Homo-oligomer: A and B are copies of this chain.
């Protein structure tokens, strides 16, 4: 009973993380728009930026990992390994969303000092999709952060119970 009370929030957070990582991957992969700038066709898609490709890769890995963990969650024999993998997945998700926010900010506002013009005015549909993917990616990173904090809390309280 105590065990299921401990596992249920993590199960729900993993479900949320799965939804968020799958949404982030799909939204980023399907982000596409084109515009005519000075009569030259300008096509915006995720393959244009290594940051967006990295974002997709990490979110796809996190989706697969979360899906496997949802089936494994009843078995706690791999507890420590899962904690270590959760930490790595949290760090990877967080690094992918941070990199995306940095590039997204340049895409939206540009950088006048470097002469980089904003592109969202020309390809708004692409930017909306990327923004959606980033919100989903942020939700996934947050869910994994909460999974990690909750697992640590469980570990420490079990430790306190035993001492």
Using a CB–CB distance below 8 Å, which chain A residues touch chain B? 42-44, 48-51, 80, 83-84, 87, 90-91, 94-103, 105-107, 111, 113-117, 119, 145, 148-149, 152, 155-156, 158-159, 162-163
A-B contact list, 19 entries, CB within 8 Å: A43-B113, A44-B114, A48-B113, A51-B105, A80-B156, A84-B149, A84-B152, A87-B149, A87-B152, A91-B145, A94-B98, A95-B95, A100-B102, A102-B103, A106-B116, A115-B117, A155-B155, A159-B159, A162-B163
Contact residues in B for A90 (Cβ distance below 8 Å): 91
Number of copies: 2
Q: How far is the CA of A50 from the CA of B115 in the complex (A)?
A: 15
